[in-house]
A and B are shown apart, each in its own frame.
Chain A
Amino acid sequence: MVLIGVVIVIIGFIIRLNPLLVVTLAGLVTGLVAHQSLYSIITQFGQAFTTNRYMAVFIVTLPIIGLLERNGLREQAEHVVSKIKAATTGRILTVYFIIREVAAAVGLTSIGGHAQMVRPLVAPMAEGAAEAKYGEVPEEVRDKIRAHSAAVDNIGVFFGEDVFVAVGAILLMQGFFEQNHIHSDPLKMALWAIPTAIAALIVHAIRLYLLDRSLDRTLGNKASKNTPKKKEA
Chain B
Amino acid sequence: MFISLEDVYIFLGIITIAGSIYTFLDRKNSRRITSGLFYCLYGVTLLFGKVIPPFYMGLLAIVLVLIAGFGGLKIGSYNEASVEERQNNRKRLGNKLFIPALLIPILTVAGSVGLKGVKIGGTFVLDQTSLTLVSLGAAAFIALIVGLVMTKNKPGTAIKESRRLMESIGWAAVLPQLLATLGTVFTTAGVGTVVSKLVGNVIPTHSLFWVVFAYCIGMALFTMIMGNAFAAFPVMTAGIAVPLLINQFGVNANHVAAIGMFAGYCGTLMTPMGANFNIVPAALLDLKDKYQVIKVQVPTALIILGVNTLLMYLFSL
Please give the distance in Å from A152's CB to the nearest CB on chain B.
9
Q: Shortest CB–CB separation between residue B279 and chain A, in angstroms?
A: 7
Point out which of B57, B225, B299 has the most chain A C-beta atoms below 10 A from its C-beta: B57
B254 within 8 A of partner (CB): yes
Contact A193 B64 (CB under 8 A): no
Chain A binder among B21-29, B130-138, B199-207 = B130-138
Query: Which of chain A's residues have a CB closer than 8 A to the CB of B16?
Result: 59
Interface-lining segment among A84-92, A114-122, A130-138, A220-228: A114-122
- Within A1-40, the residues touching B (CB, 8 Å) are 2-3, 5-6, 9, 13, 18-21, 23-24, 26-27, 30-31, 33-34, 36, 39
Interface residues on chain A, size class = 35 or more
Query: Is the CB–CB distance between A62 and B54 below 8 Å?
Result: no
Bound-state CA distance A36–B237 (Å) is 27
Q: Are B185's CB and A62's CB within 8 A?
A: no
Chain B residues within 8 Å of A203, by CB: 300, 303-304, 307
- Across the interface, A50 reaches (CB within 8 A) one of B49, B166, B272, namely B49
Among B69, B90, B109, B144, contact of A108 (Cβ-Cβ < 8 Å)? B109
Residue contact B54 to A66, C-beta cutoff 8 Å: no
Q: Which of A126-172 contact B (CB under 8 A)?
A: 139, 143-144, 146-151, 153-155, 158-159, 162, 168-169, 172
A217 contacts the other chain (CB 8 A): no
Interchain CB contact under 8 A, B175 and A19 = yes
Contact, CB under 8 Å: A6 / B225: yes
B165 at the interface (CB under 8 A from A): yes
Q: Which of A63, A67, A150 has the most chain B CB atoms closer than 10 A to its own CB?
A: A63
Q: Which residues of B are found within 8 Å of A51, using beta-carbon distances?
A: 180
Q: Please list the 5 inter-chain residue pairs (A to B) with the smallest Cβ-Cβ separation, ordered nearest first.
A: A66-B161, A72-B90, A46-B57, A46-B58, A34-B189
- Give chain B's interface residues, CB within 8 Å of chain A: 5, 8-9, 11-12, 15-16, 45-46, 49-50, 52-62, 64-65, 68-69, 80-81, 86-95, 97-98, 100-101, 104-105, 108-109, 112-113, 130, 132-133, 135-137, 140-141, 143-144, 147-148, 151, 153, 157-162, 164-166, 171, 173-186, 188-191, 194-195, 225, 229-230, 233-234, 237-238, 242, 246, 253-255, 257-259, 261-262, 265, 268-269, 272-273, 275-282, 284-289, 292-293, 295-297, 299-300, 303-304, 307-308, 311, 315
28 contacts between A and B (CB under 8 A): A3-B195, A18-B68, A30-B186, A49-B61, A50-B45, A52-B181, A57-B133, A60-B8, A61-B143, A62-B161, A66-B160, A67-B148, A67-B153, A71-B86, A73-B90, A76-B94, A110-B108, A110-B109, A111-B109, A120-B101, A143-B287, A150-B293, A155-B300, A189-B257, A196-B307, A203-B300, A203-B307, A207-B299
Question: Which of A's residues lie within 8 Å of B, judged by CB?
Answer: 2-3, 5-6, 9, 13, 18-21, 23-24, 26-27, 30-31, 33-34, 36, 39, 41-77, 79-80, 108-121, 123, 139, 143-144, 146-151, 153-155, 158-159, 162, 168-169, 172-173, 176-177, 180, 182-185, 188-193, 195-196, 199-200, 203-204, 207
